[in-house]
């Protein structure tokens, strides 16, 4: 049986008096590509933040690579191998592409930069450009490349396609697919572009009110108009 990398059991979390995650359960195995979808405000970002330790959990358990994450600060979780690319794109606008990548090297040598440039040739072309001069798609590539340089065992992506034009979204997804095939790193991706993310993912969960209400293969959900209508209120082509 494939190894479970990440497991959430009965996770409850929220902000002040508000409960956002209400008994969330998830399992991510090696090689998985899990799309987490759902209407606005159902708790998708909060789920990623809870995994990363940026939102405290009030009940339940999160285990990663066989270890209970309770009480571990976000940087300790990153050290254990959880790579997180937040919606805000985690780059330094005042640094060049190369400087941004170097900041993600941790203890690795600069030779590792070649891996990032091989996967994202566009970043190689822009290596001397400032972070703020990049297009939205290039910024997204840079934040993912930087996260990968930390050699994560799991990658969490929060709305990587947000604000990008259709052609750029297609290019980014093509690079993500290549990255997944080459590295095998399991990915959890939150996305509003449901049709596109389902074409990339292997499995999908739909969240509503902070819990999983529907689970299927990504291909299965793409065909399941009833579930898409009910939980997302949308038509997928
Ligand atoms: N820092 C915060 N303080 C208080 N409430 C918050 C905070 N962050 C999020 N919330 C609330 O928690 C709920 C869940 O937010 P979350 O961002 O997890 O949803 P989401 O499913 O990712 O939504 P979206 O698709 O719009 O990004 C929302 O009602 C939101 O307003």
Per-residue pLDDT tens for 176-207?
Answer: 898 888 888 999 999 999 999 999 999 999 99
How many structural domains is the chain composed of?
Answer: 2
Average pLDDT, the chain: 92
Same domain, 34 and 132: no
pLDDT for the residue 84: 93
pLDDT for the residue 56: 95
Same domain, 160 and 57: yes
Closest to 77 (Cα-Cα) out of 141, 152, 19, 131: 152
Q: Could you give phi then psi for residue 77, rounded to 5 degrees?
A: -70, -35
The alpha carbon of 105 and the centre of ligand 1 are apart by a number of angstroms equal to: 31
Boundary-marking domain end, from 133, 151, 169? 151
pLDDT for the residue 105: 86
What CATH number is associated with residue 183? 3.40.50.300
Model ipTM?
Answer: 0.95
pLDDT for the residue 237: 52
Same domain, 138 and 168: no
Same domain, 2 and 64: yes
Q: Could you give phi then psi for residue 22, rounded to 5 degrees?
A: -130, 75
Q: Do residues 49 and 21 lie in contact, with contact meaning Cβ atoms separated by under 8 Å?
A: no
The alpha carbon of 2 and the centre of ligand 1 are apart by a number of angstroms equal to: 32
Per-residue pLDDT tens for 134-146?
Answer: 888 889 889 999 9
Residues of the chain with pLDDT under 50: none
pLDDT for the residue 236: 54
pLDDT for the residue 235: 55
Encoded tokens for 36: 């987490």
Q: Ligand 1: residues whose CB is within 6 Å?
A: 15, 20, 38, 40-46, 192
The alpha carbon of 184 and the centre of ligand 1 are apart by a number of angstroms equal to: 30
For 228, the domain range is 1-81+154-237
Same domain, 171 and 137: no
Same domain, 120 and 210: no
Boundary-marking domain end, from 115, 134, 151? 151
Same domain, 219 and 161: yes
Same domain, 97 and 207: no
pLDDT for the residue 2: 67
Same domain, 221 and 158: yes
């Amino acid at each position: 049986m494939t190894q479970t990398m990440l497991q959430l059991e009965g996770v409850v979390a929220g902000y002040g008096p508000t409960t956002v995650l209400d008994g969330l359960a998830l399992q991510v195995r090696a090689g998985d590509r899990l799309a987490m979808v759902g209407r606005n405000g159902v708790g998708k970002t909060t789920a990623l933040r809870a995994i990363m330790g940026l939102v405290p959990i009030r009940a339940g358990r999160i285990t990663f690579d066989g270890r209970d994450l309770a009480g571990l600060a976000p940087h300790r979780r990153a050290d254990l191998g959880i790579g997180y690319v937040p919606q805000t794109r985690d780059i330094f606008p005042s640094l060049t592409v190369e400087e941004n990548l170097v900041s993600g090297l941790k203890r690795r040598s600069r030779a590792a930069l070649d891996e990032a440039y091989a996967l994202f040739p566009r970043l190689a072309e822009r290596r001397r450009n400032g972070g703020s001069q990049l297009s939205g798609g290039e910024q997204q590539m840079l934040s993912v490349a930087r996260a990968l340089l930390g050699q994560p065992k799991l990658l969490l992506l929060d709305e990587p396609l947000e604000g990008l034009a259709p052609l750029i979204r297609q290019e980014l997804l093509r690079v993500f697919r290549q990255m997944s095939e080459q590295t095998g790193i399991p990915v959890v991706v939150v996305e509003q572009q449901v049709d596109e993310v389902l074409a990339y993912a292997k499995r999908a969960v739909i969240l509503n009110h902070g819990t999983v209400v529907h689970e299927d293969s990504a291909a299965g959900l793409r065909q399941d108009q009833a579930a898409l209508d009910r939980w997302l209120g949308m038509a997928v082509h």
